[in-house]
Structures are given as structure tokens and as C-alpha cells.
Amino acid sequence: MFLIHRIPNRYKRPAFLFRAFAYLIPLAFFVYVLYWNFLPFGYNKTFTIDVGSASDQSGSFFLGLSPSLSDRLTGENPHRVLNGPAYAVFRPQAALRDVRMTLEVEGGNVSVMPFEISSDYTRIPWDFVWDMRHGKRPTDLTGNATFSDSCAYFNPENKSALELTNSKDKFETGAFSVFVEWMPEDDKGASQEILGHFNWDILQNSDSVSFRVGRMDNADGGFFTVKYPVSSDFFGVSHTALAIYHPSPTNGYIDLYVDEHYAGRSYFQPSVIWADYNGNRDLTFGKTDHSESSYFHGCIYQVGILNGVAVDESKKVSFRTTVLGEELWFPIMSTASSTLEKIRLHVED
């Protein structure tokens, strides 16, 4: 004889069911996160965007909207045409730690930029280096910044500035890269020049760090800028920036990294910096002669300049990120109209 046990009525009540689901949902999410973060063999997966397909702008890895991208071109080899910057967007399903990522593109004259770069700037063969962390003024600099055991300190009340003598014709006739480590203190000022050469400069603003070049070509030429947004907690803390100027007969550009994170790119076609715009002005630290510029307030620790491009474009880049839990945007570049066919992202921890 079988005994049939009836389920008590209290367990059938809606209130009990809702309460049970309220406990089960966060528990299921917790188990899901543990599964993704502590798999016995680690996380290892490749995501692919088939550019030109109907699904290239959907899913967890997809193409972001960009005016530089053409419509889908279907046929035997679906693709899109890229003429400028675009972004591949990754929305991870769960937080991952200490993740290695490899990004690769297929197509014509297309490339990818590292989402992050190494903080070891000593690997770059700088042509000029100014280390201001030892209390001594570099012998080739003049000016009235205050040198301590840690940095060169710039105070607007003293109109602090430094200048590299006999440099009016340097750092403007070809590609160059500029590295600076600094600490800003004034979160209200705008256009504080960290360093520059009148026809280009790296500026600290209350809401951004910017790299600007111009005028371009002649007296009527324009200006081009890349900005990295910042908030009030950016001030009073040391930071690094790497700015790149890369002229080209087809489509030159400037890039900016701040604290090893890619800030973006601005193209200026075949234009070049107008060398005569700076007149007899040398390379300066802390203040430029632009009328809208203001004196920098804070510390400069070290500066390096390379006559060339410090971070090259390629079709494949690898990098690490410590915590992966937010939407990530990876820059895809083309300096001329080129086919973009596939984008692959391999993620492993």
C-alpha cells in the first residue's frame, strides 16, 4: 500500500511562492557568478563578429554605431566599409578577474589599438627624458618651478614655468610621442598647460585632460583635440599620459592614453602642424603663450619625448585587464576606406 502525502495548503499560497522566488533568484545569481569566476579550468571563450551579417550589431560582442561605417554589404563575402574610427563592444555575462584578452580584425587597411597599454614606460626608447623626481633641475631647462625631492612644483601665484632653450624647431616636423607623469591640484582652472610647443599641447582642465594640435597647414588651419573626461577625484593624485602625433600623406591622426587607458583618436587627413605658428617659442612646461591658457598648478614628475610613434597599430593586440564586469569599447581604425570583414575577441583567465 502506498502512502500519498498531500502538500500542505500553506505551501500553495501566493505569498509563500513569492517569498521562495525572492530567495531563489539571488541564490541562482550567486551560483552563476561562482560558476563563471571559479571554473575548474578557467574561463576560455572566443567571440566573433561577422561584419556585414544581420547580427553584427547584436549579441554580447557587436559593432557599435559609427558614422565611419557603411551599411551592410551582403553577397558572397559580407562586409562593411570603414573610413575612420569604429568600436567593437563587449558586454561580459559576468565579472571576471585578471583577464587576458586578444583582439583581432580581418579586412583591408584596418587595425586595432590596444585598449590598455603597459605602465612600464621605460621600455620606450625616448629621445629626450626629463626626470624631475630628485630635487635637481635638468641642466637644459630654465625657469622658476620649485624642485623638491619628488617633483617640479608649479604654482600659478609665482607664474611657475620651465622652458627648453633652443627648441623652437623641434618636436613638430614629423611623428612624435610625448609621455608625462604629473599631479594636478586645481580642479577649477581650464587650459592649464602641462607641457607643449604652442602648436601642440597637453592640457589639464577641470573636467578633462586633452591633447591638442594646431594650427594645421597655415594661418587659417584648424585645431584637433582628443579629450579624456575626469571628475573631482582625479585631482591630488598622480597620473600618466601618452600623446601621439602621426602625420600621414593620406590621413594623419593624434591618439591619447591617460593612466594607460585609451582616450581616443582625432583624424586630420593629410594636414600637418604649421611650424611657423609657434614663431620663436620653445617647448614649455607649465604655461604656454596662448591667450586662453592658464598656469598649471601641481607637480610634474617626469617627461619623455620620442621622435616617432610609441604605440603601433596592428591587426592583433593582446592585453590584460584586472576586473572585467562592465561594457568595454575596443577601437577599430582605418585611415582610408577599407573592408572590415571579421572581428574576434578571445577572453581567458
Same domain, 226 and 174: yes
Q: Is residue 17 part of a domain?
A: no
Residues 57 and 140 in one domain: no
pLDDT at 38: 45
Q: What are phi and psi of 11, to 5 degrees?
A: -80, -10
Q: Name every residue whose Cβ is closer than 8 Å to that of residue 154 and which is 6 or more positions away in sequence.
A: 145, 146, 160, 161, 285, 286, 295, 296, 297, 298, 299, 300
Supply the range of the domain harboring residue 151.
121-306
Residue 60 sits in the same domain as residue 181: no
- Residue 9 falls within a domain, yes or no? no
Could you tell me if 296 and 324 lie in one domain?
no
Given the DSSP bridges, would you call strands 80-90 and 328-348 parallel, antiparallel or unpaired? Answer: antiparallel
Do 286 and 317 lie in a common domain? Answer: no
pTM (predicted TM-score): 0.78
Angle at 244 between CA 218 and CA 215, to 5 degrees: 15
- Pick from 24, 40, 45, 49: which is nearest to 93 by CA? 45
Residue 210 CA to residue 3 CA, distance in Å, equals: 78
pLDDT given at position 325? 59
Same domain for 343 and 236, yes or no, is no
**Closest of 144, 155, 150, 143 to residue 186, by C-alpha:** 155
| Same domain membership, residue 250 and residue 284 | yes
In a domain, 131, yes or no: yes
What type of residue sits at position 201? D
Q: Which three cell numbers stand for residue 284?
A: 614649455
The reply to whether 25 falls in a domain is: no
pLDDT at res. 58:
92
Are the CB atoms for 134 and 149 separated by under 8 Å?
yes
Write the single-letter amino acid at 293: S
- CATH number for the domain spanning 233: value is 2.60.120.200
What pLDDT shows up at residue 317? 86
What's the confidence (pLDDT) of residue 177? 96
| 317 and 294 co-located in one domain | no
The answer to whether residue 133 sits within a structural domain is: yes
pLDDT attached to residue 9: 57
243: nearest Cα among 180, 329, 171, 312: 180
- Give domain status of residue 186, yes or no: yes
> Are 109 and 197 within one domain?
no
Residue 323 lies in a domain: yes
If asked whether residues 176 and 265 sit together in one domain, one would say yes
Based on the fold, state whether residues 173 and 301 are members of the same structural domain.
yes
As a residue count, the chain comes to 349
Residue 29 lies in a domain: no
**Which residue in this structure is represented by grid cell 585609451?**
262
The cell numbers describing 9, all together, are: 495548503
- What is the Cα–Cα distance from 215 to 273, expressed in whole angstroms? 6
User: Tell me, what CATH number does 83's domain have?
Assistant: 2.60.120
pLDDT per residue, tens digit, the chain (349 aa), is 434 345 455 545 565 555 655 666 666 555 555 444 444 445 688 999 999 999 999 999 999 999 999 999 988 889 999 988 899 999 887 666 777 889 999 998 899 877 677 667 878 899 999 999 988 899 999 999 999 889 999 999 999 999 999 998 889 889 999 999 999 999 988 899 999 998 999 999 999 999 999 899 999 999 999 999 999 999 999 999 999 999 988 888 999 999 988 888 898 989 999 988 877 789 999 988 777 788 999 999 999 999 999 987 789 988 776 655 577 888 898 877 899 999 999 988 7
Cis peptide before 215 (omega within 30 of 0): yes
Q: What is the pLDDT of residue 29?
A: 57
Looking at the fold, whether 301 and 172 belong to one and the same domain comes out as: yes
The number of distinct structural domains making up the chain is 2
Please count the other Cβ atoms lying within 10 Å of the Cβ belonging to residue 275. Answer: 13
